[in-house]
Amino acid sequence: MITTVIADGKSEYEFIEYLKKRAQSSDKNVIPVVSEILENVRAKGDEAVRDYTLKFDGKAPERAEIPAEEIDAIIEKCDPKLIETIKKAAANIADFHRRQSQQSWLTTKDNGVIMGQRVRGLKRVGIYVPGGTAAYPSSVLMNAVPAKIAGVEEVVMCTPPQKDGTPNPDIIAAAKLAGVDRIFLMGGAQAIAAMAYGTESVPKVDKIVGPGNIFVATAKKLLYGVVDIDMIAGPSEILIVADDTADPKFLAADLMSQAEHDRLASSILLTNSAQLAEAAKAEITRQMQTLSRKEIIQESLDNYGAIIVCSDISQVVDFANELAPEHLEVCCANPMEYIGKLDNAGSVFLGNYSPEPLGDYFAGPNHVLPTSGTARFFSPLSVDSFIKKSSFIYYTEEALRADADDVVRFAEAERLTAHANSIKVRFDLD
- Asked whether the domain spanning 45-229 has the same topology as the one spanning 3-22+235-363, the reply is yes
> Which candidate, 268, 329, 262, 269, places its Cα nearest to that of 300?
262
d(CA 189, CA 184) in angstroms, rounded, equals 14
Count of CA atoms in the C-beta half-sphere (13 A) of 133 = 4
Alpha carbons 47 and 242: distance in angstroms, whole number: 54
367 is catalytic: no
Of 326, 329, 356, 367, which is the active-site residue?
A: 326
Q: What is the pLDDT of residue 50?
A: 94
Is the distance from CB of 157 to CB of 195 less than 8 angstroms? no
As to burial, measured by CB atoms within 10 angstroms (0-12 exposed, 13-18 middle, 19+ buried), residue 216 is buried
Determine the pLDDT at residue 134.
66
Per-residue pLDDT of the chain (430 residues; tens, 9 = 90+): 898 888 888 888 888 888 877 655 556 788 999 999 999 999 999 999 999 999 988 888 888 999 999 999 999 999 999 999 999 999 999 999 999 999 999 999 999 999 999 999 999 999 999 976 567 899 999 999 999 999 999 999 999 998 888 899 999 999 999 999 999 999 999 999 999 999 999 999 999 999 888 899 999 999 999 999 998 888 899 999 999 999 999 999 999 999 998 888 999 999 999 999 999 999 999 999 999 999 999 999 999 999 999 988 888 899 999 999 999 999 999 999 999 999 999 999 999 999 999 999 999 999 999 998 899 999 999 999 999 999 999 999 999 999 999 999 999 999 999 999 999 999 988 7
The number of beta carbons lying within 10 Å of the beta carbon of residue 404 is 16
Closest CA to 250 of 240, 259, 260: 240
Torsion angle of the four alpha carbons 167, 171, 177, 183, in this order, in degrees rounded to the nearest 10: -50
Secondary structure class of 89 (helix, strand, coil): helix
Look at residue 278 and give its three-state secondary structure. Answer: helix
pLDDT at 135 (0 to 100) = 79
Report the CATH number of the 3-22+235-363 domain.
3.40.50.1980
Task: Give the pLDDT of residue 24.
Answer: 53
Cβ burial, residue 359 (10 Å; 0-12/13-18/19+): buried
Report the length, in residues, of the chain: 430
Residue 221, number of CB atoms within 10 A of its CB: 15
Q: Which of the residues 237, 260, 283, 327 is marked catalytic?
A: 327
One-character DSSP codes across 285-353: HHHHTT-TTHHHHHHHHHHH-EEEE-SSHHHHHHHHHHH--SEEEEESSSGGGGTTT--S-SEEEESTT
Under 8 Å between Cβ of 299 and 263: yes
Strand ordering across the sheet containing 306-309: 3-6, 306-309, 266-271, 237-242, 327-331, 347-350
Which pTM value belongs to this model? 0.92
Give which of 167, 101, 108 is closest to 140, Cα–Cα.
167
How far apart CA 201 and CA 186 sit, in angstroms, is 12
Burial 112-150 (b: 16+ CB within 10 A, else e): ebeeeeebebbebbbbbbbbbeebbbbbbbbbbbbbbbb
The pLDDT of residue 61 is 86
Is 326 among the residues known to form the active site?
A: yes
**Euclidean distance between CA atoms 206 and 190, whole angstroms:** 17
Domain residue extents for the chain? 3-22+235-363, 45-229, 396-427
Q: Is the dihedral of CA 408, 409, 410, 412 positive or negative?
A: positive
Please give the radius of gyration of the chain, using alpha carbons only, rounded to the nearest integer.
25
Cα distances from 121 to residues 19, 37, 348, 369, in angstroms, run: 37, 30, 28, 21
* Burial environment of residue 384 by CB neighbours within 10 A (0 to 12, 13 to 18, 19 or more): middle
Eight-state DSSP code of residue 227: B
Q: What is the CATH number of domain 45-229?
A: 3.40.50.1980
